[in-house]
């Protein structure tokens, strides 16, 4: 998942489609993604599970109900989950939640994340990417090019 | 009931009692929700001779069945009461997030009745509601009130409120939500103020279910794909907001200058355009709840005398405060637009009332002494000064707070008010856009562009391109537009979606959401029913054919230049045809047959 807050429209379509996909109702409370808006700072930030490499939710689970699938997605196995909510305490990003019956998190919709599909602005994208910051390095390099480069 | 929560709150402000009531499904099927259902409830419950500020008057807040769902731009809420400015039915809607949040809290709407002895606000939280004192909020701006109510309730609460303009009963006071979204026109904020109701806050964690989840998802996906591919809804509105219209309307010769006196081609229009706004002041675009178009403008004036930040302006506001006043300083226009949000006022009527005062001054009917200032064409500073005075009803602001009609009438020249049924017409000259002239004359809430937006076919070519200068065919398409708009305003989606989607897509979303079985034609007929219901209300308030007209300037003074040079609005011919197509008498009265056909 690639999150770009600077592109977020704060429309919360991601919350709608997520809760609908998960629970068949429109309810931001049941969404694994949330848009947090800052009125005075004039920005909105989508927040969701980023599939940590060393996932605390998975590590802390006493019954090993959270596993990593072949794509690296952390998935809750509801047959094993006892609802102890330790994963909610452990997640440093606040991306484990409880819907009244069970814990839930983003499972990337089995490889086709609906939030990314419905996001109208490209603030949430699902794509192959290398988070080695080459993209950001390129952005910085472009500034040097613009300032010091020859005019084409 | 799917889509709906099936419950509304009845809040009696006199006694402080709050009751929960079930929505009647038969009533909802007939009037849909929002604007239609609200008008029906209002007319059933409020005697027609009720004074607008009487405790016996009611103020109704309603969402629609699609509000809060994945439907296209489904964040709308509607306020219904009698409009203080016009005396017609008053209904004003807004986007943002309040409507969805109210549904997540378990209610489709709220009926406010009576009058609180002291200022109060209502807090609706997950199925419960309570009135709380708001003495310390009275006098506060919209921004201050919103922050204070959020702090006192829940960090995620959404807040509707009035500012000082609503408290002071400015006749065009708005009800604002999330600070920057306005249910703007007609003065419904003054009704809220008259009830000592300062704010409504809501927080909910419930959800909305639809009848046919798979079908609904398909219908919404299809509608969203259409909006994405459409140049207006997919590109234009997001890039430049509604301000994209400045250069488009101006080049069509339809952007009135100086209180509609000096033609409708403004050579300096680009200085206040959406392109200029994007270039100079736009921070980012913003979408209301569930909206992919994102016409909202988050804007900031970083320095200079008008340093400020907020949202907007819309095209009509920029025109009213700009070209209409001979002003082309976009920073000042933004600043006044922000003040309108902060104090809770409609910038269209405010700017148009300024323009009217400016022309009264030019004609020698109003003096600088009376004004206590220099509210004259082209004086940029004056619009900032008098916006504040108007909200506070200070000095001459007290007169400006009554709107242009009452101002012009009190100075012996009501014809200088560019209004219909005392509400000011916005930004599109009815001489260059003949259909818009008919729209203003027949709108059930007075001069208004969003009852049947014929600019769409006349200028944008949506859904078909019509010559703006001819009268043929305008009555028929206006009727369809008005009926469809009544549907859109009742079910909870944004009118702007209709630049891209039409009746079939809208009907599909509503059918799969509610599970109701109806044809597209039956849905449009519900819009016709709602339109006639509003008309019946207005007739009960004494409105007749003589009120379905335009300021004499549009009927008699030909445009001096531009594509519509030499044109006046040929209203009579269009109006007669319009009455016929509506099934009304030649006096504009719905016939018995028509009413029984609509089940009224």
Domain extents in chain A:
1-48+106-152, 51-105
At residue B559 the predicted structure's pLDDT band, cuts being 50, 70 and 90, is very high
pTM of the model: 0.96
Determine whether the interchain pair A26/B70 forms a contact, defined as Cβ–Cβ distance below 8 Å.
Answer: yes
Q: Which of A6, A11, A17 sits opposite B289 (nearest CB)?
A: A11
Dihedral, CA of residue B301, residue B305, residue B308 and residue B311, to nearest 10? -60
Looking at residue A150, what is its pLDDT?
80
Query: Among B554, B600, B226, which Cα is nearest to B415's?
Result: B554
At residue A147 the predicted structure's pLDDT band, cuts being 50, 70 and 90, is confident
Whole-angstrom distance, CA of residue B577 vs CA of residue B590: 14
Looking at residue A132, what is its pLDDT?
64
Whole-angstrom distance, CA of residue B525 vs CA of residue B90: 22
Q: Which of A11, A30, A44 sits opposite B207 (nearest CB)?
A: A30
Establish if B587 belongs to a structural domain. Answer: yes
At residue B214 the predicted structure's pLDDT band, cuts being 50, 70 and 90, is very high
Per the CB < 8 A criterion, the answer to whether B436 and B454 are in contact is: yes
**Does an H or E element contain B371, and which?**
helix B368-371
Looking at residue A39, what is its pLDDT?
87
User: Bridge-partner residues for B129, per DSSP?
Assistant: B124
Do domains A1-48+106-152 and A51-105 share one topology? The answer is yes
Residue B231 is classified by DSSP as I
Determine whether the interchain pair B207/A26 forms a contact, defined as Cβ–Cβ distance below 8 Å.
Answer: yes
What sign has the CA pseudo-torsion A76, A78, A79, A85? positive
Write out the residue range of the structural domain in which residue B373 sits. Answer: 240-415
Asked if the model's pLDDT at residue B206 lies above 80, the reply is yes
What sign has the CA pseudo-torsion B414, B588, B464, A118? positive
Asked if the model's pLDDT at residue A133 lies above 80, the reply is no
Query: Among B268, B247, B380, which Cα is nearest to B323's?
Result: B268
At residue A131 the predicted structure's pLDDT band, cuts being 50, 70 and 90, is low
Residues B399, B543 within the same domain: no
Looking at residue B157, what is its pLDDT?
98
B120-125 and B197-203: which strand pairing?
A: parallel
Looking at residue B158, what is its pLDDT?
98
- Count: domains in chain B: 3
Taking CB atoms and an 8 Å cutoff, what residues of chain A touch B210?
A: 26
B294 in A contact zone (CB under 8 Å): yes
Which whole number is the average pLDDT over B295-319?
A: 97
Establish if B47 belongs to a structural domain. Answer: yes
SS3 (DSSP) at B436: helix
Of B415, B444, B473, the domain-final residue: B415
Of B357, B388, B415, the domain-final residue: B415
Residues B62, B138 within the same domain: yes
Per the CB < 8 A criterion, the answer to whether B563 and B253 are in contact is: yes
Matching CATH number, A51-105, of 3.40.50.2000, 3.40.50.300, 3.30.70.20, 1.10.357.10: 3.30.70.20
**pLDDT tens across B47-67, in order?**
999 999 999 999 999 999 999
Residue A88 is classified by DSSP as H
Residues B467, B562 within the same domain: yes
Whole-angstrom distance, CA of residue A146 vs CA of residue A53: 36
Residues in contact with B69: Cβ distance below 8 Å, sequence separation at least 6, in sequence order: A16, A26, B3, B208, B210, B216, B220, B290, B513
B205 in A contact zone (CB under 8 Å): yes
Determine whether the interchain pair A9/B287 forms a contact, defined as Cβ–Cβ distance below 8 Å.
Answer: yes
**pLDDT tens across B501-535, in order?**
999 999 999 999 999 999 999 999 999 999 999 99
Looking at residue B413, what is its pLDDT?
98
B228 in A contact zone (CB under 8 Å): yes
Asked if the model's pLDDT at residue A108 lies above 60, the reply is yes
Establish if B235 belongs to a structural domain. Answer: no
Looking at residue A130, what is its pLDDT?
67
**Does an H or E element contain B335, and which?**
helix B330-343
User: Bridge-partner residues for A44, per DSSP?
Assistant: A37
Query: Among B3, B88, B86, which Cα is nearest to B42's?
Result: B88
Per the CB < 8 A criterion, the answer to whether B299 and B286 are in contact is: no
Determine whether the interchain pair B213/A20 forms a contact, defined as Cβ–Cβ distance below 8 Å.
Answer: yes
B150 in A contact zone (CB under 8 Å): no
Residues B122, B188 within the same domain: yes
At residue A139 the predicted structure's pLDDT band, cuts being 50, 70 and 90, is confident
Which whole number is the average pLDDT over B143-160?
A: 98
Looking at residue A149, what is its pLDDT?
85
Residue B412 is classified by DSSP as T
Q: Which residues of A touch B (CB under 8 A)?
A: 6, 9-13, 16-17, 19-20, 23-30, 39, 42-44, 118, 120-121
Which whole number is the average pLDDT over B320-345?
A: 98
Distances (CA, A) of B520 to A112, B28, B166, B254, B465: 34, 17, 40, 34, 23
Asked if the model's pLDDT at residue B485 lies above 70, the reply is yes
Q: What is the DSSP code string of B372-392? A: TS---TT-HHHHHHHHHHHHH
Size of interface A-B (CB pairs under 8 A): 75
Establish if B373 belongs to a structural domain. Answer: yes
Nearest CA-CA distance, residue A54 and chain B, Å: 31
Query: Among A22, A29, A43, which Cα is nearest to B68's?
Result: A29
CATH of residue B544: 1.10.599.10
CATH of residue B127: 3.60.9.10
Residues B450, B577 within the same domain: yes
Looking at residue A138, what is its pLDDT?
82
Residues B193, B294 within the same domain: no
Residues B252, B149 within the same domain: no
Nearest CA-CA distance, residue B300 and chain A, Å: 10
Asked if the model's pLDDT at residue A152 lies above 60, the reply is no
**Does an H or E element contain B490, and which?**
helix B474-491
B300 in A contact zone (CB under 8 Å): yes
Give percent of chain B above pLDDT 90.
100
- Please give the residue of chain A at the shortest CA–CA distance from B295: A9
Residues B351, B450 within the same domain: no
Which whole number is the average pLDDT over B480-493?
A: 98
Asked if the model's pLDDT at residue B302 lies above 60, the reply is yes
**CATH architecture assignment, domain A1-48+106-152:** 2-Layer Sandwich (3.30)
């Amino acid at each position: 998942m690639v999150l770009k807050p600077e592109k977020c429209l704060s429309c919360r379509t991601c919350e709608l489609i997520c809760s609908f996909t998960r629970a068949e109702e429109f309810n931001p409370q049941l969404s694994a993604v949330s848009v947090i808006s800052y009125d005075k700072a004039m920005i909105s930030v989508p927040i969701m599970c980023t599939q940590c490499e060393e996932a605390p939710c998975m590590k802390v689970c006493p019954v090993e109900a959270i596993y990593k699938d072949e794509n690296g997605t952390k998935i809750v196995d509801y047959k094993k989950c006892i609802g102890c909510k330790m994963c909610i305490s452990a997640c440093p990003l606040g991306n484990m939640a409880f819907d009244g019956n069970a814990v839930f998190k983003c499972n990337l919709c089995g490889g086709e994340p609906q939030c990314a599909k419905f996001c109208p602005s490209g603030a949430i994208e699902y794509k192959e990417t290398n988070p080695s910051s080459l993209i950001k390095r390129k952005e910085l390099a472009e500034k040097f090019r613009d300032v010091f480069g020859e005019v084409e | 009931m799917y889509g709906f929560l099936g419950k509304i709150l009845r809040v009696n402000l006199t006694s402080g009692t709050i009751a929960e009531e079930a929505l009647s499904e038969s009533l909802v099927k007939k009037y849909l929700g929002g604007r239609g259902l609200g008008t029906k409830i209002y007319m059933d419950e409020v005697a027609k001779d009720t004074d607008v500020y009487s405790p016996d008057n009611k103020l109704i807040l309603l969402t629609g069945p699609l509000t809060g769902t994945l439907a296209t731009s489904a964040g709308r809420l509607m306020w219904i009461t009698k409009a203080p400015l016009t005396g017609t039915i008053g209904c004003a809607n807004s986007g943002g997030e309040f409507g969805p949040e109210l549904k997540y809290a378990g209610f489709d709407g709220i009926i406010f009745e009576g009058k609180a002895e002291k200022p109060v606000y209502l807090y609706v939280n997950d199925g419960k509601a309570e009135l709380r004192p708001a003495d310390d909020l009275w006098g506060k701006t919209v921004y201050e009130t919103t922050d204070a109510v959020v702090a006192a309730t829940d960090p995620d609460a959404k807040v509707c409120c009035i500012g000082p303009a609503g408290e002071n009963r400015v006749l065009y006071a708005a009800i604002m939500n999330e600070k920057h979204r306005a249910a703007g026109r007609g003065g419904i904020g003054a009704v809220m103020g008259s009830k000592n109701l300062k704010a409504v806050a809501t927080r909910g964690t419930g959800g909305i279910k639809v009848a046919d989840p798979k079908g609904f998802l398909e219908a919404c996906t299809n509608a969203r794909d259409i909006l994405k591919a459409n140049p207006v809804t997919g590109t234009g509105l997001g890039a430049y907001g509604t301000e994209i219209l400045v250069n488009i309307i101006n080049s069509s010769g339809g952007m009135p200058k100086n209180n509609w006196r000096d033609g409708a081609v403004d050579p300096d229009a680009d200085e206040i355009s959406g392109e200029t706004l994007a270039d100079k002041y736009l921070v980012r675009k913003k979408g209301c709840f569930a909206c992919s178009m994102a016409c909202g403008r988050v804007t900031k004036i970083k320095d200079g005398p008008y340093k400020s930040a907020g949202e907007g302006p819309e095209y009509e506001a920029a025109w009213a405060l700009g070209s209409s006043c001979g002003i082309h300083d976009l920073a000042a226009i933004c600043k006044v637009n922000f003040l309108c949000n902060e104090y809770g006022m409609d910038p269209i009527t405010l700017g148009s009332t300024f323009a009217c005062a400016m022309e009264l001054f030019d004609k020698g009917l109003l003096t600088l002494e009376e004004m206590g200032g220099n509210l004259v064409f082209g004086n940029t500073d004056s619009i900032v000064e008098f916006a504040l005075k108007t909200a506070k009803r200070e000095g001459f602001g007290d007169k400006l707070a009554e709107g242009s009609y009452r101002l012009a009438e009190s100075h012996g020249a009501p014809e200088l008010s560019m209004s219909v049924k005392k509400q000011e017409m916005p930004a599109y000259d009815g001489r260059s856009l003949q259909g818009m002239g008919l729209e203003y004359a027949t709108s059930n809430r007075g001069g208004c562009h969003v009852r049947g937006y014929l600019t769409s076919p006349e200028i944008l070519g949506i859904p078909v391109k019509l010559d703006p200068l001819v009268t043929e065919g305008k009555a028929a398409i206006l009727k369809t537009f008005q009926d469809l708009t009544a549907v859109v305003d009742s079910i909870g989606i944004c009118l702007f979606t209709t630049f891209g989607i039409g009746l079939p897509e809208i009907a599909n979303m509503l059918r799969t959401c509610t599970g109701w079985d109806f044809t597209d034609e039956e849905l449009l007929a519900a819009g016709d029913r709602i339109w006639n219901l509003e008309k019946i209300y207005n007739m009960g308030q004494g409105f007749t054919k003589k009120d379905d007209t335009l300021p004499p300037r549009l009927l008699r003074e030909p445009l001096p230049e531009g594509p519509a040079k030499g044109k006046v609005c040929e209203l009579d011919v269009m109006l007669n045809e319009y009455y016929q197509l509506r099934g009304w008498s030649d006096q504009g009265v719905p016939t018995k047959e028509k009413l029984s056909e609509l089940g009224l």
